[in-house]
Amino acid sequence: MQLYGSYLSPFTCRVLIQIAAKDLDIKLVDPPDGLNSEAYRALNPIGKIPALDTGAGVIPESGVICEYLEAVFPEHPMSGHDPAESANIQLVARIFDVYVMNAMLPIFGQMDPATRDRAVVDTATQACLRGLAFADAWLDGSAYACGNRLTLADCMAAPSLLFVETFLPAFGVAAPFAQLPSVAGYWSGLQRTDPVAGILDSMKAAIGAA
């Protein structure tokens, strides 16, 4: 198997954390001929990253890929052991996916201060902060989102929190976790755990080189 993606993509890095945690032999590769190429769209009509090439077909969308890998490689499980735990993991993962990461996506079209639309920035940053407040209500400040082990919730959360910490200050949110003690404690512990720390280091290097 191989994963089409990039360390610049928080969506790719969700899957990379899972791959590393489960010690899977799945290589990260660039999309053939580039992300917007006809060659890549022939494999993945959605045209986004990540996408998992299983050898029998291509699976796009990070959440779908993570669930597929859990089903195919049940060792070192990162999903719930019972319905209640599964629901909690899925909820925290969804908060970081929909209400944090997706909420902040519009700011990336506003990187140039000369052409920046302040209304777009304000709407996106406030939506992201609301999402972080939702997360703060479910987290308890420990290093893992659900229980005492790394789960799919952490895979979703870690890249999102790195992007929040890296990019929101450039748009006027100097300390995005200042009023969120549970998120702040969680992020402080999570980013030092294995294998999250290594993936985050690769993300930081890719962002710095971009």
HEC letters along the chain:
CEEECCCCCHHHHHHHHHHHHCCCCCEEECCCCCCCCHHHHHHCCCCCCCEEECCCCEEECHHHHHHHHHHHCCCCCCCCCCHHHHHHHHHHHHHHHHHHHHHHHHHHHCCCHHHCCHHHHHHHHHHHHHHHHHHHHHCCCCCCCCCCCCCHHHHHHHHHHHHHHHHHHHHCCCCCCCCCHHHHHHHHHHCCCCCHHHHHHHHHHHHHHC
- Report how far residue 157's alpha carbon sits from residue 104's, in angstroms, rounded to the nearest whole number: 14
Q: Which amino acid is at 2?
A: Q
Please give the model's pTM, rounded to 2 decimal places: 0.95
Q: What is the residue-averaged pLDDT of the chain?
A: 96
> Which pLDDT score, from 0 to 100, does residue 17 have?
98
> Which pLDDT score, from 0 to 100, does residue 44 have?
96
Structure tokens at 67: 């669930």
pLDDT band with cut points at 50, 70 and 90 for residue 114: very high
pLDDT in tens, 159-210: 999 999 999 999 999 999 999 999 999 999 999 999 999 999 999 999 998 7
DSSP bridge pairs for 2:
27, 53
Farthest CA pair distance, the chain: 51
- Tallying the residues shown for the chain, one arrives at 210
Residue 26 in this model has a pLDDT that exceeds 90: yes
Q: What is the mean pLDDT of residues 121-129?
A: 97
Residue 183's contacts (CB-CB under 8 Å, 6 or more residues apart) are 132, 135, 136, 139, 161, 177
pLDDT in tens, 80-113: 999 999 999 999 999 999 999 999 999 999 999 9
Structural domains in the chain, CATH included, are 2-72 (3.40.30.10), 83-209 (1.20.1050.10)
pLDDT band with cut points at 50, 70 and 90 for residue 38: very high
Nearest to 93 by CA among 159, 171, 1: 159
Q: What is the mean pLDDT of residues 59-81?
A: 96
Residue 22 in this model has a pLDDT that exceeds 90: yes
